[in-house]
């Protein structure tokens, strides 16, 4: 996979999209989406409809204040295979090499141009692949697409190759498929979360039962870190979380890890390799009912009675965890 795509795809893994439908003739077109807080509407060109593989907008993420990143991906597989891979972790499901980014859109606010934004990021994005869609107010909208990835073409099944090549070559059609407008205020995905109680039953990685009541009652405040075994930032912060865990014990607080995937062998190895001694358990089936994750890691602050005490921290920010916890202890 090419470097610029990898750079942005590893910033954060978006798990949910706040989108709305729109009532006109495009409403029935698969893949048509409008994101008011990012200021765009996308109606897929004809080429992107009724495809053999899967074209999907996989996420919209605010990577800086008033700077959004929306990305579209091609899956060289069927819907059933994708569901098995994403949801069931089926060992017979397609591997990650059958997934490739198609394009992404940058929505750059604060009066910045693409050039000034890129300079702030060390000119990491090759400018020859950037197509400016337009400007609205103090926002600049840019499309990034590198064209067909030959490495990807070489490994996918032949039935998908011509289709993917055509899709990845359609930069002009893609740019014309966007309608841009002044972004609206982003909805708070965690509205109402503070003050609610997180109650669940689950097991640890060895199958031993765990209840939230018993878990949270042991500490004044529990830092609940939701992670996955395939998330780079999640894995990278494990040693720091262990160090923080040791410091928090002196304050009557604790850290626990909630594994949001079921690759237990990988998780156990990561825990051993990073010297993790704080409790780690499986996410309950009710997790998605309680909180809609925007990304992993996501970290919650839970009181002794199971009440959420503060807004979650999204992303791997150890210093924010400790600062928030200290602030809560001083109340």
Question: Given a cut of 70, is residue 5 above it in pLDDT?
Answer: no
Asked if 201 and 211 touch (Cβ cutoff 8 Å), the reply is yes
Residues 180-205 as b or e (16 or more Cβ within 10 Å = b) = beebeeeeeebeebeeeebebebeeb
Percent of the chain at pLDDT > 90 equals 73
Q: What is the pLDDT of residue 231?
A: 87
Residue 137 and residue 274 in one domain:
no
Q: What is the pLDDT of residue 86?
A: 66
CA distance 280 to 234: 13
Residue 167 and residue 214 in one domain:
no
- End position of a domain, from candidates 146, 180, 214: 180
Residue 232 and residue 175 in one domain:
no
User: What's the CATH code of the domain at 321?
Assistant: 3.40.30.10
Q: What is the pLDDT of residue 20?
A: 46
> pLDDT tens digit string along 77-129?
998 888 776 665 555 555 667 899 999 999 999 999 999 999 988 898 999 99
Bigger pLDDT: 16 vs 88:
88
Classify residue 186: in a domain, yes or no. Answer: no
Classify residue 191: in a domain, yes or no. Answer: no
> pLDDT tens digit string along 164-222?
999 999 999 999 999 999 999 887 878 889 999 999 999 999 999 999 999 999 999 99
Can you tell me the mean pLDDT for 212-241? 95
Classify residue 193: in a domain, yes or no. Answer: no
Residue 73 and residue 33 in one domain:
yes
Q: DSSP secondary structure string, 10-26?
A: TT-EE-----B--SSGG
Quote the mean pLDDT of the chain: 88
Can you tell me the mean pLDDT for 150-173? 96
| Distances 309 to 42, 58, 135, 223, 278 between C-alpha atoms, Å | 38, 30, 40, 10, 21
pLDDT category at 11 given cuts 50, 70, 90 is: very low
Residue 233, SS3?
Answer: helix
Q: What are phi and psi of 35, to 5 degrees?
A: -120, 90
Q: Is the pTM of this model over 0.75?
A: no
Q: Which residues contact 103 (CB under 8 A, 6 or more apart)?
A: 71, 72, 143, 144, 145, 171, 174
CA distance 240 to 303: 22
Q: What is the pLDDT of residue 295?
A: 81
Element (H, E) at 102: strand 99-108
> pLDDT tens digit string along 244-292?
999 999 999 999 999 999 899 999 999 999 999 999 999 999 998 999 8
Q: Which domain holds residue 252?
A: 201-329
Question: Given a cut of 80, is residue 17 above it in pLDDT?
Answer: no
pLDDT category at 25 given cuts 50, 70, 90 is: very low
Percent of the chain at pLDDT > 70 equals 88
Neighbours of 244 (CB within 10 A): 21
Classify residue 192: in a domain, yes or no. Answer: no
Residue 175 and residue 47 in one domain:
yes
Classify residue 266: in a domain, yes or no. Answer: yes
Classify residue 187: in a domain, yes or no. Answer: no
CA distance 326 to 78: 48
**By C-alpha distance, which of 312, 297, 300 is closest to 13?**
297
CA distance 201 to 159: 45
Asked if 69 and 61 touch (Cβ cutoff 8 Å), the reply is yes
CA distance 330 to 327: 5
Neighbours of 323 (CB within 10 A): 12
Classify residue 195: in a domain, yes or no. Answer: no
Q: What is the pLDDT of residue 97?
A: 77
Element (H, E) at 140: strand 139-144
């Amino acid at each position: 996979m090419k470097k610029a795509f990898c750079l942005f795809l590893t910033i954060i893994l978006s798990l949910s999209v706040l989108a709305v439908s729109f009532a006109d003739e495009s409403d029935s077109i698969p893949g048509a989406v409008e994101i008011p807080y990012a200021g765009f509407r996308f109606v897929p060109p004809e080429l992107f409809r009724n495809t053999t593989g899967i074209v999907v907008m996989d996420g919209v993420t605010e990577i800086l204040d008033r700077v959004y990143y929306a990305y579209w991906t091609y899956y060289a597989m069927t819907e059933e295979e994708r569901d098995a891979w994403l949801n069931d972790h089926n060992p017979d499901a397609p591997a990650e090499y059958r997934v490739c980014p198609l394009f992404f859109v940058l929505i750059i606010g604060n009066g910045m141009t693409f050039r000034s934004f890129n300079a702030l990021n060390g000119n990491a994005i090759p400018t020859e692949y950037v197509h400016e869609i337009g400007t609205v107010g103090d926002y600049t909208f840019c499309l990034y697409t590198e064209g067909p990835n030959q490495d990807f073409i070489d490994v996918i099944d032949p039935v998908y190759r011509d289709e993917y090549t055509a899709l990845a070559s359609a930069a002009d059609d893609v740019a014309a498929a966007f309608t841009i407008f002044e972004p609206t205020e982003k909805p708070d995905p965690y509205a109402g979360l503070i003050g609610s109680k997180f109650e669940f039953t689950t097991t640890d990685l060895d199958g031993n039962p765990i209840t939230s009541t018993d878990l949270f009652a042991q500490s004044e405040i529990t830092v609940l870190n939701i992670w996955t075994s395939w998330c780079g930032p999640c894995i990278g912060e494990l040693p720091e979380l262990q160090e923080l865990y040791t410091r928090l014990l002196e304050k009557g607080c604790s850290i626990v890890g909630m594994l949001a995937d079921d690759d237990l062998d990988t998780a156990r190895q990561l825990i051993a390799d990073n010297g993790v001694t704080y409790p780690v358990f499986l996410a309950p089936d009710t997790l998605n009912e309680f909180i809609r994750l925007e990304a992993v890691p996501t970290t919650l602050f839970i009181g002794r009675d199971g009440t959420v005490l503060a807004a979650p921290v999204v992303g791997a920010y150890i210093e924010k965890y400790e600062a928030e916890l200290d602030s809560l202890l001083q109340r």
